[in-house]
Chain A
Amino acid sequence: MTAQLCYDDVELGDEIQPLVVTVDQTQMFFFSAATYNGHRIHYEKDWATTVEGYDDVLVQGPLQSALLARAITDWIGGRGRLVRYSVQNRAVAYPGEVLTFGGVVTAKRLEAGVGLVDLEIAGRRGEDVLMPGTATVALPRQPALARGEVDQRDGAS
């Protein structure tokens, strides 16, 4: 287990450790099963190409979204909290493609003593952004700094 990421450690422009995944049809099958998703476009190539006009079956948008969220929750650790998560499906992905999920810190602020960090996030295939989005996470303060704040409040009262 790596050390807990703290609000005070994060700087604008910091990047999330990217998550690189090549989704295959086995993973797609399990994801459809786990989400009760019967849409043929994810498992019936004839349907996906003939009826819906794609080149192959499609990686589920919610799977891309879940992978992008995984990159964030891996980065923020056990004491971090995903507060807001927003993504758009901009382009489709096919099984066998190398996808990269990551993000960059765009803002940070303290609200009622809680350290909030805004991220610009994306799922990409090479240079193509398939799934852009934004997220906000809450991160713990460094213990010494958190104590310092308590001391200041005590001193002021």
Chain B
Amino acid sequence: MTDDSLIDAESAARVGTVAARATGEVHRLQWQRWAAAVGDHNPLWFDADYARVNGYDDVICPPLFLQYVILGVTSLDELRPDGSSGAVSGGLAFPRAPRRMAGGESTTFHLPAYHRDEVEMVRTISSIVEKEGRSGRFVLVTWHTTYRNQRSELVAEATTSMIARP
């Protein structure tokens, strides 16, 4: 790492460590609000009879909503200047690269999640690297995340990345 690196030593030292651990309850009303905002009226998320006919015990949480059930609560005076809560990036901040964008996500879904399931997310920082893109230098952060339910069953696991730019 050089002096002009976008990655400060404190952030670099956190590679391999748990960046965030959070629990939350899967809630039907929350995932249905999300689905409605996506315009996704799939009856698996809304209609218990339909879900049962298709082999489930009840309506199921849309796979892509699982990542939000563990979001915590942030006071308005704790928000970053850009209005984000920092929860998604596990508290990582790059003073030399303050602008952030979601990079990408790759998720494997193992089991359905149901209303009132208790989910624990554990997120580990896999890597922090500086890259050169079309619009200049940026920092690429990669996390590995597991989601387990109240029976410790692996519901899903994800590799997520974030881009931070100067």
Contacts and interface: CB of A to CB of B under 8 A. Distances in A.
Contact of A69 (B43, B64, B84, B108): B64
Interface string A8-46: 000000000000010000010011011111111100100
A83 B68 contact: no
A79 B83 contact: no
Contacts of B50: 78
Interface string B53-73: 111000000111000100100
A88 B85 contact: no
Interface in B130-150: none
A4 B62 CA distance: 19
Contacts of A74: 40, 42
A70 interface: yes
Contact of A38 (B33, B38, B85): B85
Interface residues of B, number: 38
Contact of B42 (A31, A70, A133): A70
A5 interface: no
Given A30-B37, A31-B37, A33-B37, A83 B109 contact: yes
A21 B39 CA distance: 9
Contacts of B34: 31, 34-35, 66
A36 B33 contact: no
B105 A87 contact: yes
B22 interface: no
Interface stretch (A57-65, A109-117, A120-128): A57-65
Interface in B33-51: 33-34, 36-40, 42-44, 50-51
A86 B40 contact: no
A94 interface: no
Interface in A69-125: 69-70, 73-74, 78-79, 81-89
B109 A86 contact: no
Given A38-B79, A73-B63, A79-B54, 13 more contacts: A27-B39, A30-B36, A31-B34, A31-B38, A36-B85, A37-B84, A47-B82, A66-B38, A74-B42, A78-B51, A78-B53, A85-B109, A88-B103
Interface of A: 1, 21, 27, 30-31, 33-41, 44, 47, 51-52, 61-63, 65-67, 69-70, 73-74, 78-79, 81-89, 133
Interface of B: 30, 33-34, 36-40, 42-44, 50-51, 53-55, 62-64, 68, 71, 74, 79, 82-85, 99, 101-109, 163
